[in-house]
Structure 1
Amino acid sequence: MKKNNSVEEYIEEHQNFSKALGILRDIINSTEVEETVKWNAPVYSVNGKNVLGLGAFKNHFGIWFFNGVFLKDEQNLLVNAQESKTKALRQMRFESIKDIDKNLVLKYVKEAIENQKLGKEIKPDRSKKEIILPNELKAILDSNKVLQIAFKNLSPSKQREYCEYIDTAKRDATKQTRLEKITPMILQGTGLHDKYKNC
């Protein structure tokens, strides 16, 4: 697929929907958004923040709303392209140029711009980032300051690997064996699975 350097090239590339994409583009550009090309497609931003984009596929075309989850969507026009994965992104799909209601599209576009100005966006979930130390690992770290410093210097992903490794041991004896195994590794600053990562 060739790289599109302009919105015109993107629209021309999708000949079956080029006229319809042109109409949507005109509606969007009648507002205050800034038009750019990102990820090989037209993207529209306000104050440097992505608000919406144009997209064309085999059987449909449409507008991506980056924070579409906040749109009122009283007409029930928006779809979530990846139900379990996509939290904020919503798409307004069309199959034909006849499906475009210019006033309605403009209403959604203006609301998306207003939402962006109000700062409505889904923040990344930080709760996953918290590292919970198993009691056995916490005890050994508390009793050995050098080990504790070495552990804190590890990346969060490496810390999580070690925590999970201890936590998943069912028997106390296994936990003890695992603690003895990982102590020198932590002191060396290596992760539990580092030796497999370059294979």
Structure 2
Amino acid sequence: MPASSLNPQVDAFVRTAAKWKEEYEKLRAIALDCELAETFKWMHPCYTFQEKNIVLIHGFKDYCALLFHKGALLKDAHGILIQQTENVQSARQIRFANVQEIVDLELTLRAYIYEAIEVEKAGVEVSFKKPAEFAVAEEFRQKLDELPALKAAFEALTPGRQRAYLLHFSQPKQSKTRASRVEKYMPHILAGKGLNDE
């Protein structure tokens, strides 16, 4: 790898990693060898093609992963792409428990990366579910019906912010918990803020 193509933030990320250091180094070498540009986004090594995100390297307690930003559009001929949760619409992971698993899959990983680059070259986009396609918690629906200002403020939010609220409100099993979440975030919605905005 030419030193000019290495991102110093990624160097620091790998060097200071408490876990998965060898795995990160191997995944990094594969991504760079596929002629992707190395950047650092969302606190992780991210690899791009013509400034479009292709893959991200990240680690968890039990595995590290190569995350394909538009993994839902890949053919996944080997059936190895994992959807992290049912609410993740675009990204898919390939998970590893050790460096040998990466070595064994290296040719497949390269093929998937090249396929992801072709998806970007073709300009294909993931078609996201619209907020209207998500379940609306009954507790939130009642508030929207009762308070026209809340309904107007919610409808003025971006689709991504609407989705985040709908998912957050509908997750709890108990009505009481759903209602308390709605109460807590009503001021955010009225202020035009997203779920995680300060």
Is 1:48 paired with 2:56? no
Structure 1 counterpart of 2:11: 8
Give yes or no for contact 2:67–2:91 (8 Å, CA) kept in 1: yes
Structure 1 counterpart of 2:155: 157
Give yes or no for contact 2:153–2:190 (8 Å, CA) kept in 1: no
Within 5 Å, give how 1:40-189 maps onto structure 2: 40-83=43-86, 85-100=87-102, 101-125=105-129, 128=132, 157=155
Q: Mark the runs of 5 or more structure 2 residues left unpaired by the alignment.
A: 1-6, 134-151, 158-185, 192-198
Rounded to whole Å, the distance in 1 between the matches of 2:156 and 2:28 is 46
- Helix, strand or coil at the partner of 1:122: coil
Deviations 1:76-109 (A, max 9, x none): 11100011x1111100100111111211111111
Counterpart selection for 1:17 from 20, 24, 33? 20
Give yes or no for contact 1:69–1:90 (8 Å, CA) kept in 2: yes
Q: Mark the runs of 5 or more structure 1 residues left unpaired by the alignment.
A: 130-153, 160-192
Give yes or no for contact 2:89–2:128 (8 Å, CA) kept in 1: no
Runs of 4+ in structure 1 deviating by more than 6 angstroms, as ranges, are none
AA at the equivalent of 2:89:
K
Q: TM-score, normalised by structure 2?
A: 0.60
- Helix, strand or coil at the partner of 2:123: coil
- Displacement after TM superposition at 1:47 (Å): 1.7
Q: TM-score, normalised by structure 1?
A: 0.60
Give yes or no for contact 1:71–1:112 (8 Å, CA) kept in 2: yes
Deviations 1:104-131 (A, max 9, x none): 11111111111111112214556849xx
Q: Superposition RMSD on alpha carbons, in Å?
A: 2.9
Give yes or no for contact 1:7–1:37 (8 Å, CA) kept in 2: yes
Rounded to whole Å, the distance in 2 between the matches of 1:127 and 1:27 is 37
- Displacement after TM superposition at 1:157 (Å): 2.2
Q: Percent identity, aligned pairs only? A: 26
Give yes or no for contact 1:88–1:121 (8 Å, CA) kept in 2: no
Larger radius of gyration: 1
Rounded to whole Å, the distance in 2 between the matches of 1:158 and 1:8 is 42
Rounded to whole Å, the distance in 1 between the matches of 2:19 and 2:112 is 24
Give yes or no for contact 2:23–2:98 (8 Å, CA) kept in 1: yes
- Displacement after TM superposition at 1:16 (Å): 2.6
